[in-house]
Amino acid sequence: MKILIFISLIAYFLSTLGFWFYLYTKKEKGRKIGFSLFGIGFLIQIVYLLGTVVFHGYFPISTISDILFFLSMVIGAIFYGFSLYKKNLKEFGAIYAPIIVFLIALSLPSYSSSEQVYDNIWFYAHVVFSILAYAFIIAATVIAIIYLLTERDLKRKNLKSFFVSKFSSSLSTLLDLEYKATLMIFIFLSLALITSSIWSSVYLGKHWLWDKKQIMLSILWIFYGFLLQIMLIKHQYKKRASYLTIVGSILALIAFWIIEHPNY
């Protein structure tokens, strides 16, 4: 099954080259090639995931390599959602494809056979919802950075800058995507906290453990709830919300990757 990981890595790498060729030449053939190869890589990831479920009997999210691989696949699914939302968002593959390449490549050195850690569906639900939230955080951060750089260049009337000349998405489209991604982040963080509470109650006998991981995840949930309120009630889209989105990505990096989950 490991060969499928290498094949998907190659497909996404070639997809990156196709998308980059499109950005620098604006030839439609480059975007079509990039999008097609992206689809091949994504399809191979699905085959790997389903194959693991069928032949091993459980969802492969037990090891760090599995988590990184699944995270990359979810980012691929988000990109497809964006491209279905608006056709010109396909050019975002020039950013999301190399991110996926990086995540898959990062998973390879630590690759090991998957194993079922807990016989508890709530634990795996918690992990899946956490990964979904983090994938949308990455997607929202990319959008926020593109928005801030595009808005800056447009304000300076620098129409030949990279983001103005190469990306055709309007500022309103970017803001709308950022809002939708933030909404999904809040939903999945909520589900991650709920399933974490149920899992700890079933497995450890307590709903709340006061461990650093659970506390940091709660802080992240509060932060994105606050950000969502700014977007919904105060209508402070534009630069302030985008800067907060980037701050959220830093908090998420700490919550998901720097603070380790305690062993019970």
Burial track 204-242 (b if 16+ CB lie within 10 A, e otherwise)? eeeeebeeebbebbeebbebbeebbeebeeeeebeeebb
Can you give the pLDDT at residue 36? Answer: 94
Q: What is the pLDDT of residues 154-194, one digit of tens each?
A: 888 787 777 777 776 788 888 889 999 999 999 999 999 99
**Distance of alpha carbon 49 from the chain centroid:** 17
Task: Return the sign of the alpha-carbon dihedral for residues 64, 70, 71, 73.
Answer: positive
pLDDT of residue 250 exceeding 80, the answer is yes
pLDDT of residue 242 exceeding 80, the answer is yes
pLDDT of residue 228 exceeding 60, the answer is yes
Ordered by start, the domain boundaries in the chain are 1-110, 119-264
On whether the CB atoms of residues 81 and 115 are closer than 8 A, the answer is no
Can you give the pLDDT at residue 117? Answer: 52
235 CB-side CA count, 13 A: 1
pLDDT band at 142 (very low <50, low <70, confident <90, very high): very high
pLDDT of residue 210 exceeding 80, the answer is no
pLDDT band at 252 (very low <50, low <70, confident <90, very high): very high
Q: Which is nearest to 96 in space by CA: 84, 114, 78, 110?
A: 78
With H, G, I as helix, E, B as strand and everything else as coil, classify residue 126: helix
pLDDT of residue 69 exceeding 80, the answer is yes
> Within 10 A of 174 (CB to CB), how many other CB atoms are there?
21
Can you give the pLDDT at residue 185? Answer: 96
